[in-house]
Chains A and B, each alone.
Chain A
Amino acid sequence: MASNILYFIVFLGILVALAVPLGSYMASVFTGKRTFLSFIIRPLESGFYWICRVDESEEMSWKQYSLAFLLFNAVGFMVLFLLQIVQGRLPLNPMGFGAVRWDTALNTAISFVTNTNWQAYGGETTMSYFTQMAGLTVQNFVSAAVGIAVALPLIRAFTSKLRNTIGNFWVDMTRSVLYVLLPLSIILAVLLVSQGVVQTFNPYVKAQTLDSHGQTPVNRIAQSAERPNEYSPHGGREGKAGYPLAGGALFAEGATPIRGQAQAPVTEQVIAVGPAASQIAIKQLGSNGGGFFNANSAHPFENPTPLSNFLEMLAILLIPAALPFTFGVMVNNRRQGWAIFAAMMILFLVGLGAAFWAEWQGNPILAQSGLGNGTNMEGKEIRFGIGSSVLWGQVTTAVANGSVNAMHDSMMPLTGLVFMFNMAIGEVIFGGVGVGLIGMIMYAILTIFLAGLMIGRTPEFLGKKLEAREMIMAVIAVIAPAIASLIFSGIAVAIPTGLSSLNNPGPHGLSEILYAFFSYAGNNGSAFAGLNANTVFYNLTGGFVMLVGRFLTILPALAIAGSLAMKKSVPSSSATFPTASPLFTVLLIGVVLIVGALTFFPALILGPFLEHLLLCSGRTF
Chain B
Amino acid sequence: MKELVRSLLVLIAMSLLTGALYPLVVTGLAKAGFPRQAQGSLLMTGDTIIGSAIVGQNFSSLRYFRGRPSAIEKSYDAGNSGGSNFGPSNAKFLEEVGGRVETVRKDNGLERTASVPADLVLASASGLDPHISVEAATIQVKRVAKARGVPEPDVQVLVERFIEMPLFGFLGEKRINVLRLNLALDNIASQVNQSLTKGDEKR
Contacts and interface: CB of A to CB of B under 8 A. Distances in A.
Do they bind each other?
Answer: yes
Contacts of A299: 81, 126, 128
B125 A266 contact: no
A256 B62 CA distance: 11
Given A413-B89, A529-B85, A219 B40 contact: no
A381 B11 CA distance: 38
A304 B54 contact: yes
A269 B55 CA distance: 10
Interface residues of B, number: 123
Interface in B85-124: 85-91, 93-94, 96-107, 113-124
Given A220-B69, A275-B23, A371-B101, A504 B6 contact: no
Contact of A383 (B5, B94, B131, B179): B131
B101 A246 contact: no
B156 interface: no
A409 B121 contact: no
A283 interface: no
A507 B87 CA distance: 10
B44 to A, nearest CB: 9
Nearest to B36: A196
A122 B82 contact: yes
B105 to A, nearest CB: 8
Contact of A269 (B25, B60, B78, B129): B78
B82 A295 contact: yes
A164 interface: no
Contacts of A159: none
A358 to B, nearest CB: 10
B192 interface: no
A427 B104 CA distance: 43
A200 B23 CA distance: 10
Interface string B125-152: 1111111110000000000000100000
A313 to B, nearest CB: 11
Contacts of A365: 88-89, 94
Nearest to A198: B40
A72 B17 CA distance: 16
A211 B122 CA distance: 21
Contact of A272 (B13, B61, B78, B173): B78
Contact of B73 (A51, A246, A530): A246
A370 interface: yes
A384 B172 contact: yes
B37 A196 contact: yes
Given A231-B83, A298-B124, A409-B85, A369 B70 contact: no
Given A272-B79, A409-B86, A214 B6 contact: no
B201 to A, nearest CB: 15
B70 A219 contact: yes
A229 B7 contact: no
A141 to B, nearest CB: 4
B4 interface: yes
Contact of A219 (B76, B105, B183): B76
A186 B42 CA distance: 24
B155 interface: no
B64 A210 contact: yes
A271 B53 CA distance: 12
Contacts of A614: 89
Given A210-B179, A229-B71, A298-B125, A270 B107 contact: no
A174 B10 contact: yes
Given A141-B18, A210-B64, A266 B80 contact: no
Nearest to B4: A71
Interface string A40-74: 00000000100111100000000010011001101
A189 B132 contact: no
A194 B11 CA distance: 31
A140 B121 CA distance: 37
A374 B117 CA distance: 9
B129 A193 contact: no
Contacts of B170: 3-4, 6-7, 10
A309 to B, nearest CB: 7
Contact of B125 (A64, A406, A508): A406
A382 B84 contact: no
Interface stretch (A19-27, A130-138, A318-326, A537-545): A130-138
Contact of A405 (B4, B119, B125, B175): B125
A363 B88 contact: yes
Given A219-B60, A219-B67, A300 B55 contact: yes
A380 interface: yes
B89 A619 contact: yes
Contacts of A255: 103
Interface stretch (A257-265, A434-442, A517-525): A257-265
Interface stretch (A102-110, A201-209, A417-425, A464-472): A201-209
Nearest to A508: B87
Interface in A154-199: 170, 173-174, 177, 182, 185-186, 189-190, 193-199
21 contacts: A52-B9, A67-B3, A72-B11, A142-B11, A195-B37, A207-B51, A218-B69, A219-B58, A254-B99, A256-B106, A270-B78, A275-B27, A298-B124, A304-B54, A372-B115, A377-B119, A379-B86, A406-B125, A407-B125, A410-B88, A504-B89
8 closest cross-chain pairs (CB), A and B: A306-B172, A216-B60, A530-B85, A298-B125, A508-B87, A295-B81, A270-B79, A385-B173
Given A222-B96, A407-B83, A530-B87, 5 more contacts: A54-B6, A269-B78, A307-B172, A382-B131, A413-B87
